[in-house]
Amino acid sequence: MNNIPLFDSLVHPTVNGNWLQPKYDGKNSPEELVVQMQENNIRWAFAVGLPDVGNYNLEKYSKFIRSKSDSLYPVAGLRFDDIQKKHSIKELLTKVSKLNYVGIKIHPRFSKVTYDNVLLPEVVKTANGLNLAVMLCTYFYRSGNDYYRNNMVSLRELLSKLNGEKIILLHSCTVRLLEMMEIAREFHNVLLDLSLTLCKYEGSSLDLDIRFLFKNFDRRICVGSDGPEFDSKKLRERFNYFSKGLEREKVENIAYKNIMNFTGLGV
């Protein structure tokens, strides 16, 4: 399957090459990422910035990423308290669009938001109206503050309020992947992303669930590494493993067609 290009839905190259864990310091540059991508036939990737990580700056990150490669599409990491305290939703997201980002990432911990936040549906709607892809992290196994309110119930309630607005669910609730698939059947505006989940749980019962989705839900999922947590080589290995024996059409859907069509980037 190496001849089929991949679209990596989630990587986090930083301005100074650092990351959340010191072991990645100086190793998380876009230059190194692009080399990895080329070696593993990963033709495109969403490069996602996170507030307070690796010298991220909203005003500069998009230009920085685009200067490194045409294969990287910059996605803005939002501070949700900026919306609540400093800007209107339309004002901030219009700024993001004008800065040449292709999307936004809402990360509960870094964005300081819970799924039941009353502003979230309007953020998704406004972003969609500006042709910005919306990514929402669904890895909610962390303690602290009000994040316990991020769970399958509150996520489903949020989806029911979106009225068809598009959203990419990053990690697809990890260990509750199969349940997330069943919920997604009801919401055709949802794309399930397997970044992190695809690589992190190798050898667990989730392998069976991922194989099931590759075979039976191929029009509704996409793949990613969550780099630098996992690299391009690992993404390729895991993708090839689950793609073995599948029809080429299904493999191409998962590899790049779904995410490109969903976000309007074309094929």
Tens of pLDDT, residue by residue over 79-100, are 877 776 666 899 999 999 999 9
pLDDT, mean of residues 198-221: 98
240: three-class secondary structure by DSSP? helix
Quote the pLDDT of residue 144.
58
Quote the pLDDT of residue 120.
93
pLDDT at 34 > cutoff 80: yes
Mean pLDDT is lowest, of 58-67, 137-146, 210-219, for 137-146
Is pLDDT larger for residue 112 or for residue 186?
A: 186
Question: Domain limits of the chain?
Answer: 6-263
Name all contacts of 146-152 with Cβ < 8 Å and 24+ positions apart.
146/114, 147/108, 147/109, 147/114, 149/114, 149/115, 149/116, 150/108, 150/114, 150/115, 151/115, 152/176, 152/179, 152/180, 152/183
Instruction: State the average pLDDT for the chain.
Output: 93
Cα end-to-end span (Å), the chain: 18
pLDDT at 150 > cutoff 80: yes
Q: 6-263 adopts what CATH topology? A: TIM Barrel (3.20.20)
pLDDT, mean of residues 206-232: 97
Give me the amino acid identity at 25.
D
